[in-house]
Structures are given as C-alpha cells and as structure tokens.
Amino acid sequence: MNSAAQASYTLGELAERIEARLVGDANLRVSGLATLTDAGPGDLAFLANRAYLKYLADTRASAVLVHPAHGEACPCPRLELENPYLGYARLSHLFDPLANQPSRGVHPAATVSPQASLGAHVEVGANCVIEAGVEIADDCVIGAGSFIGADTRIGRGSRLHANVTLYHGVTVGERAILHSGCVIGGDGFGFAHDGQRWEKIAQLGGVTLGDDVEVGSCSSIDRGALGDTVIGNGVKIDSQVQIAHNVQIGDHSALAGCVGIAGSTKVGRHCLLGGGVGLSGHLTLADGVQITGMSLVTNSILEPGVYSSGTGSMSNSQWRKNAVRFKQLDEIAKRLTRLERDMRDS
C-alpha cells in the first residue's frame, strides 16, 4: 500500500475535491505541494498572498492554486478558487505522510490495563501507559511514551503524538490532535493561605475537550477545582499555552503561542487571542473578540471587536522618556481637573 507521501492526483480530482475551476489539462498529475519559489515539476503551488504575486511568473510548478483575479498571470495550468489558502489547507491532508497509515496495533512495550477499553484500529506506541477505566474509541493513535490516566475517554479518530499526558478523568472529543509534551488535566493552581503558609486545595474537577480540538506542544490545560475546565468544539490552541482551572473557551476560538488564561475566565465563541496575551481570572470575553499580541486584559470585554493594550516598540531612549511621562499622568490628570474647575468657577 502506498503512503500518502507517495500519492499523486490528477488536477481534475483535486478540482473536484475543493470545487475549484480548472484551467488546463484535467489529467495532469501532481504528487506534492510546494511554495511558488520551491515548487518543481510534479508539484502544485499556491498563491494566497498578493505579496508573493511577483514569484508567480517564474514558478516551475506543474500547476498553481490561485484566486481568479490572478489566473491570467499564471504561466501553467491552474485551479481557481475564491479562497486559495482554504483550498491549500484542504488539499494538504492528501499529502500528509501521517495520513492513511495502517494501524500498527498495540506495541509490546506498552502497558495497557485489562480494565481499559480499546476500539477498532487503535494504535498504541511503545512505552505508553493506559490505566483502568480508560475508553479509547475507534481509529485513535496514541504516540510512544504517552500516559492516559484512569477513567479518561478519547473520541474516535483522535491522535496523541509522542509523550502526551492525560491525567485521570479527562474527556477528549473526536478527531482531536494533541501534540508532544502537552499536559491535560494537571492540578489547577489552587491554594488557601493561613497567614503563614499555603494549604493546597484538592482539584476535584476534570477537563473536557470538544470535537476537532488541537493542542500544541508543551501546552497545559488544568483540571477544574470542582466543575470541569471546558474547551469547546473546533478550538485551536498553539504551543506553550497555559489554561488554568475552570476556564471555559467557546467553539472555534483560536489561541496563539504563550497565551496565559487565569482561572474561571470565560472566552466566547470565535475569539482570537494573539501571541503572549494574558487574561486575568474571573473575566468574560464576548463572542467574536480579538485580542492583539502581548496584550494584558484585566476587565471583562462584553462587545465583539479588536482590543489591544501596551505600547508598540520604539527606540530605548524614546521609551525611557515615555516611561517617565507615564509616571506623571496621574499628577497631570489632577492638575487638569483643578484647571477645569477653576475655569468653571471664574
């Protein structure tokens, strides 16, 4: 059986898959995807950003996926689509070497509890540990070295890459992708202070991930203190993201790298959080909120829109001057208030 990496498709087949308009030979075969500058014979390239239009005329690709507005400038057969980047995303799965690999079953070096339930065509890699009460649905892949704690459930078609850790009582929906080093269901940061030292609060909730969720490498999603931490359907989480206990994230939101969300904050549906964004605890973000990179959010946002905080980069000398002025703002505001009052009274 050929792997996905060796597969080839006719332009006619690809056009039908993404409902694109084909201009050229429908029987021309391509066996890979590449950028305009790197493509060679046998490759399908794509143009999704006008900044790269200058490379179109000289591409060596056998065919190009383009917007109809750029079709006439294409020197080779083409697939025309209103959203070529979306078309590229859908076609990329056809050439993924991990796709369509036959299941290799349970590796002899894996430890699987007899009280665990594994569905059909489940692959379990070397040195995995699967505890009692675990339920893994059909067509799942559990990468080498992964740990799945007691009473955890994993939905159909999900993939855990190597060295993923799922604590006890975690629920993962269908078609999830969890990348190496991510930890789902660790204890939330819950402590009570007696005036001298910290007393740990047992974290009694769990974590629920919806369908089609992706979690990047080395990201952490903490279990709830009482109820579950809940990640909605279609949520995409980048690498090195920290999600604290009892956070709720609505369907189809996306979090870029190094986002940090404090406990019990609720993020709406279709929200976008840029890299390094920090959300304080117990906040609410409405549906459709976009936070630009490195922003700190300390109050709830109840209307959709784009929000930012902080200052853009500048020379250090200019920043030092501004830092002094920032410290003077309170006094300036008080002086302005007095001046306005004096003007009213005069």
Please spell the DSSP secondary structure of 253-289, one letter per residue. -EE-TT-EE-TT-EE-TT-EE-TT-EE-TT-EE-TTE
Q: Are 259 and 273 in contact (CB under 8 A)?
A: yes
Instruction: Using a pLDDT cut of 90, give the percent of the chain over it.
Output: 90
Helices 84-92 and 11-18: crossing angle, nearest 10°?
110
- Check whether 287 has a pLDDT greater than 90: yes
Q: Are 136 and 122 in contact (CB under 8 A)?
A: yes
- Residue 67: CATH number of its domain: 3.40.1390.10
Range of the domain at 288: 111-307
- Check whether 259 has a pLDDT greater than 60: yes
Flag whether 103 is in a domain.
no
Flag whether 130 is in a domain.
yes
Residues 301 and 321 in one domain: no
Confidence of residue 283 (pLDDT cuts 50, 70, 90): very high
Looking from the CA of 9 toward its CB, the CA atoms found within 13 Å total 19
Residues 286 and 345 in one domain: no
pLDDT at 312: 81
For residue 1, give both structure tokens. 């059986």
Average pLDDT over residues 165-194: 97
Residues 217 and 197 in one domain: yes
7 to each of 17, 95, 96, how far by Cα in Å?
15, 7, 10
Flag whether 100 is in a domain.
no
For residue 106, give both structure tokens. 């349970």
What are the DSSP E strand ranges found in 202-251?
207-209, 214-215, 220-222, 229-231, 236-237, 242-243, 248-249
95 in helix, strand or coil?
Answer: helix
Confidence of residue 302 (pLDDT cuts 50, 70, 90): very high
Query: 22 has which bridge partners?
Result: 79
Flag whether 37 is in a domain.
yes
Cα 149 to Cα 197: distance, rounded to the nearest angstrom: 31
The dihedral formed by the CA atoms of 41, 46, 50 and 51, expressed in degrees to the nearest 10:
-60
Q: Are 228 and 207 in contact (CB under 8 A)?
A: yes
For residue 346, give both structure tokens. 């005069």
Residues 168 and 66 in one domain: no
Confidence of residue 320 (pLDDT cuts 50, 70, 90): very high
Flag whether 105 is in a domain.
no
What residues are labeled active site? 245
Residues 208 and 345 in one domain: no
Flag whether 104 is in a domain.
no
Count of structural domains within the chain: 3
For residue 86, give both structure tokens. 């979306």
Residues 248 and 291 in one domain: yes
Average pLDDT over residues 236-258: 98
Cα 77 to Cα 103: distance, rounded to the nearest angstrom: 37
Give, rounded to a whole angstrom, the gap between the first and last alpha carbons of the chain.
91
335 in helix, strand or coil?
Answer: helix
Of 145, 219, 223, 237, nearest to 182 (Cα)? Answer: 219
pLDDT at 141: 97
Cα 122 to Cα 110: distance, rounded to the nearest angstrom: 13
Is the model more confident about 7 or about 250?
250
Cα 22 to Cα 218: distance, rounded to the nearest angstrom: 42
Return the exposure string of 44-69: e unless at least 16 CB atoms fall within 10 Å of the residue's CB, then b: bbbbbeeeeeeebeebbbbbbbbbee
Residues 322 and 299 in one domain: no
pLDDT at 4: 40
Tell me which residue has tokens 């080779």. Answer: 76
Residue-averaged pLDDT of the chain: 95
Flag whether 102 is in a domain.
no
Residues 63 and 149 in one domain: no
- Check whether 44 has a pLDDT greater than 90: yes
- Residue 235: CATH number of its domain: 2.160.10.10
Average pLDDT over residues 244-265: 98
Residues 14 and 89 in one domain: yes
Residues 86 and 118 in one domain: no
Residues 294 and 167 in one domain: yes
The domain boundary residue, chosen from 66, 95, 124: 95
Cα 181 to Cα 253: distance, rounded to the nearest angstrom: 22
For residue 197, give both structure tokens. 């030292």
Residues 187 and 277 in one domain: yes
Give the DSSP letter string of 29-80.
EE-EEE-TTT--TTEEEE--SGGGGGGTTT---SEEEE-GGGGGG-SS-EEE
pLDDT at 342: 86
Please report, as a single letter, which amino acid is at residue 178. Answer: L
pLDDT at 97: 83
Confidence of residue 6 (pLDDT cuts 50, 70, 90): low
- Check whether 1 has a pLDDT greater than 80: no
